[in-house]
Amino acid sequence: MKLSDILNSADKPLFSCEFFPPRTDKGEENLWSCLKELQAINPAYISVTYGAGGTTQDRTKGIVSRIKDKTGLSPVAHLTCVGASKTQLGELLAEYKAAGINNILALRGDAPEGMNSFEAVAGGFSYATDLIAFLREQGDFSIACATYPEGHPESKGGVADDIRYLKMKQDNGADCAITQYFFDNDTFFRFRDQCDAAGITLPIIPGIMPVGNFEQIVRFSSMCGAVIPAWLHEKMTPIQHDLDAVKALGIELAAKQCRELLEADAPGLHIYTLNKSEATIAIHQQIKDLL
């Protein structure tokens, strides 16, 4: 189903999940068993990330096509501007169109390994705003974009820049935005108020990262600029080597965060699953009265 139709017809908040394309046969097997388990909770859509290199990029296409054909779930393919010219992106989009994939999460992407900063290739795009405008010209695509309630690490003007660019993403044709993960809901509520004041009307869907391995989340957060608040450090650090305890606390905290967001009218929740279904299903179970 097209994302715009999912958004327009929703009479309750959307619960969605993100996966990455596995690199091994075992990982692939795990992905399909997670998706099978998730069918029971019927996520509004499943998004699949897009890597920096050629082979992982091909995997995204293969996986979204199979999600569409084999599971009945609605896939959203992430797409970045990294390493591709406008012509190459146009060719990939034509393949998506032919395969009946019409939901794209349009991103700039990060600098590939070994490069200090993102550089557009000749004939490519420098920002997600440009990719969104291009996608809109292709017709037929429903477009999601990314946004950063705590500010994108490269945004020189802080969150104000991110709000300005989110408005441009909306004006260029994005149907909804999914946020970088955050742990303090007040940050999201402040960001949402500022977006409202800036004339941003598209649904801003909070991205939720259930903590399953605290050291891993600390590492991710240092790369993507997400803030780990002192209270989370205090709770997780003493138990960080007991993965079962971390997982249980991670689920409890994420469910509490999700409940508070839904009670404050968040239009949906997008769970960063890290290709695991257990936490996602447990969180859904605890908030299903609000979904």
Determine contact, residues 247/212, Cβ cutoff 8 Å: yes
User: So which residues are the catalytic ones?
Assistant: 18
Indicate which single residue of 49, 102, 142, 277 sits in contact with ligand FAD (rule: CB under 6 A).
Answer: 49
Nearer to ligand FAD, 75 or 109 (CB): 109
CB of 227 closer than 8 Å to CB of 221: yes
Decide if residue 110 touches ligand FAD (CB under 6 A).
yes
Angle among Cα 105, 109, 67 to the nearest 5 degrees reads 35
Nearer to ligand FAD among residue 35 and residue 177 (C-beta): 177
Residue 152 lies near ligand FAD (rule: CB under 6 A): yes
x/- mask, ligand FAD, residues 63-82, rule CB under 6 A, reads ---------------x-x--
Q: How many residues bind ligand FAD (CB under 6 A)?
A: 24
Query: Which residue, 154 or 186, has its beta carbon nearer to ligand FAD?
Result: 154
- Is 59 a binding residue for ligand FAD by CB under 6 A? The answer is no
CB atoms within 10 A of CB 13: 19
Q: 223 or 230, CB closer to ligand FAD?
A: 223
Shortest spacing between CB 239 and ligand FAD, in angstroms: 28
- List the one residue out of 257, 191, 204 whose CA is nearest residue 14: 204
Q: Does 162 bind ligand FAD (CB under 6 A)?
A: yes
Taking the C-alpha atoms of residue 90 and residue 234, their distance in angstroms, rounded to an integer, is 48
- Closer to ligand FAD by CB, 205 or 232: give it: 205
124 touches ligand FAD (CB under 6 A): no
DSSP 14-45: EEEEEE---SSHHHHHHHHHHHHHHHTT--S-
Residues 6+ apart with CB under 8 A from 66: none
- Residue 168 identity (one-letter amino acid): M
Shortest CB 276 distance to ligand FAD, Å: 17
CA–CA gap between residue 37 and residue 53 (Å, rounded): 29
List contacts with ligand FAD (CB under 6 A). Answer: 49-50, 52, 78, 80, 105, 107-110, 127-129, 146, 152, 154-155, 161-162, 165, 168, 178, 180, 207
